[in-house]
Amino acid sequence: MPTALITGATAGIGAAFARRLAADAYSLVLVARDELRLTQAADQLKLRYGVNVEVLPADLGTDEGLAKVESRLRGGVDLLVNNAGFGNAGRFPHVPVEDEVRMLKVHCEAVLRLTLAALPGMTERDRGAIVNVASVAAFFTRGTYSASKAWVVNFSESAANEVANPRIRIMALCPGFVRTEFHRRASMDDSSIPGFLWLKADDVVREAMRDLALGRRVSVPDLRYKAIVAVGRLVPRRLQAMVSQRIGR
């Protein structure tokens, strides 16, 4: 039975990955900060799908938390989903620098370190996959969040190119607006976001797994967002920024 480790696994896209992979008969390792929520999620998945579920409470914004997850990954997994992330309330440059640095640690350093911890085992077994959850924001300009997600996309493509093994797949997942806890936790007002732009987490994961199976290195779920990204790449950066400001983060 293959094993998948998912960070940020108790809500939103991470929880959707857990459901999908449990349905596909993966054993799961769930990572998040809240041990109670982790345990509750694990119990529900065991009951519904009958799979093995391990909980690993860890704060990826700390070296201690990262070291715990790195250690578990060195024990071997077949699929790593780097999903943990958050948004800051407020806009650059008014967000406290310690909050910005923490974002970079979770979005960038954690993705780097956990990928490096997982790859040796995958290389030894000559198979495996890593999904790094980025965002459509990576293709636009909106503060530290979009900058950090742009790094995730570039890193994922670069890592896949350097590994150069079709049996070890590394993919950046770039969803648009998804109905999760993300905006509420960041105290963001999402009322200006048009209803047609919202996606469901389960749909995002379904498309991500399809694109991973096809060997794609960047997955942008939904035709609406594929079109937005395609147009965004053609227009000047200043116009991109204006649109981003109007629609929101």
Catalytically active residues are 145
For residues 130 and 169, the answer to whether their CB atoms sit within 8 Å is yes
92 φ/ψ angles, rounded to the nearest 5 degrees:
-60, 135
> Helices marked H in 6-142 — which ranges?
12-23, 35-49, 63-74, 97-104, 110-125
Amino acid, res. 107: H
The burial class, CB within 10 Å (0-12 / 13-18 / 19+), for 234 is: exposed
Question: Phi and psi at residue 29, in whole multiples of 5°?
Answer: -120, 115
Contact 209, 128 (CB under 8 A): no
How far is it, in rounded angstroms, from Cα 8 to Cα 46?
Answer: 18
User: Which helix (DSSP H) or strand (DSSP E) does residue 230 occupy?
Assistant: helix 223-234
